[in-house]
């Protein structure tokens, strides 16, 4: 049993990789062009390679009916990946990570409407806390401080709904196919995302491409492998007696706390006092909504 707890602790640090590696990447390539597209392509390519291996290990099991679900997932997944790295580039690392995690509000609402999940007091409280957290984090205070970056807000919205869409369509695929064909489902979706990211990079401004790859190619590749490894660990933990209702909220909350501390100490990120309160409220919301 100790090995499973060790894997769980390891998965927490892997879960922090997106924000931390994304932050380092943006600092490393500051001033260069078309950076988000390259990051998305390299990260997605690493994730695709992992799921292709899983698909092979699964005996190349497939069902053509899964392709529609894969197409929807590819749109959501690409939005989450591209939106998040772009949000990290244009705005707060902590708040961007918070928005990624509190997107579970959409999954919770969808579950209540379509999966017959009960509307409990905890769910209502979690939804209220999410609204409060988002307001506090995005509120700029004095009139002269209210010029929030429209591009950052757009990327936050893409990240929020993209990540929520991933949670919904993955659950819907499991329901429709009785938990079968997951490797094929994920591999085809990530494959479509990888092609889209490559085309976006290729047809964009590639004048800084060589310098981008030279400076920081390893950040998105390592992050992609961390993402794949974390998903593999999650699948392993699902087969144990450990309570998922405890594991997921604990991982989400600790991730937000670690990213917050890392951003403050290493990236020297500055936020208003009410934004820090908003982050704390968001951490509480993530825990409550995951119970």
Both tokens of residue 18?
């997106």
Q: What is the pTM of this model?
A: 0.80
- How is residue 269 annotated by DSSP? -
Q: Which of 274, 223, 226, 280 is nearest to 253 (CA)?
A: 280
Q: In the chain, what is the greatest distance between 2 CA atoms, to the nearest angstrom?
A: 60
Is pLDDT of 236 > 80? Answer: no
Counting residues of the chain whose pLDDT is more than 70, the rounded percentage is 90
High-pLDDT (> 90) share of the chain, %: 22
Q: How confident is the model at residue 144 (pLDDT cuts 50, 70, 90)?
A: very low
Euclidean distance between CA atoms 3 and 271, whole angstroms: 39
The domains of the chain are located at: 34-91+149-239
Distance (Å, whole) CA 12 – CA 120: 28
Q: What are phi and psi of 149, to 5 degrees?
A: -65, 120
Lowest-confidence pick of 19-33, 67-81, 150-164:
19-33
Q: Is 139 helix (H, G, I), strand (E, B) or coil?
A: coil
What count of Cα atoms within 13 Å lies in the side-chain half-sphere of residue 4? Answer: 13
The CA distances from residue 87 to 2, 188, 210, 256, 281, in Å, are 37, 26, 23, 16, 21
Tell me which of 257 and 181 has the higher pLDDT. Answer: 181
Q: What is the C-alpha to C-alpha distance for residues 124 and 289, in angstroms, rounded to an integer?
A: 9
Instruction: Tell me the per-residue pLDDT of 52-89, one tens digit each, with 9 for 90 and over.
Output: 998 999 899 999 999 999 999 999 999 998 998 888 88
CA distance 96 to 90: 10
Cβ neighbour number for residue 3 with a 10 Å cutoff: 9
């Amino acid at each position: 049993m100790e090995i499973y707890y060790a894997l769980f602790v390891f998965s927490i640090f892997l879960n922090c990789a997106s924000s931390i590696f994304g932050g380092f990447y943006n600092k490393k390539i500051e001033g260069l062009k078309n950076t988000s597209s390259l990051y998305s392509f390299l990260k997605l390519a690493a994730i695709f390679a992992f799921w292709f291996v899983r698909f092979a290990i699964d005996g190349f099991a497939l069902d053509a009916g899964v392709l529609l679900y894969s197409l929807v997932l590819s749109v959501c997944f690409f939005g989450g990946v591209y939106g998040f790295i772009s949000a990290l580039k244009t705005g707060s690392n902590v708040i961007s990570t918070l928005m990624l995690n509190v997107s579970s509000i959409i999954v919770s609402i969808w579950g209540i409407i379509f999966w017959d999940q009960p509307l409990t007091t905890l769910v209502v409280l979690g939804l209220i806390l999410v609204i409060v957290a988002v307001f506090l984090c995005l509120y700029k205070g004095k009139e002269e401080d209210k010029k929030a970056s429209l591009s950052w807000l757009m990327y936050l919205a893409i990240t929020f709904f993209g990540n929520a869409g991933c949670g919904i369509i993955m659950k819907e695929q499991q329901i429709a196919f009785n938990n079968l064909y997951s490797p094929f489902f994920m591999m085809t979706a990530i494959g479509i995302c990888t092609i889209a990211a490559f085309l976006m990079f290729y047809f964009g401004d590639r004048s800084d491409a060589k310098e981008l790859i030279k400076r920081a190619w390893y950040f998105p590749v390592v992050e992609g492998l961390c993402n794949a490894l974390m998903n593999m660990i999650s699948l392993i933990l699902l087969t144990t007696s450990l309570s998922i209702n405890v594991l997921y909220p604990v991982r989400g909350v600790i991730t937000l706390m670690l990213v917050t501390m890392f951003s403050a100490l290493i990236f020297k990120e500055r936020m208003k006092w009410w934004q820090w309160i908003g982050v704390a409220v968001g951490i509480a919301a993530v825990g409550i909504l995951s119970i």
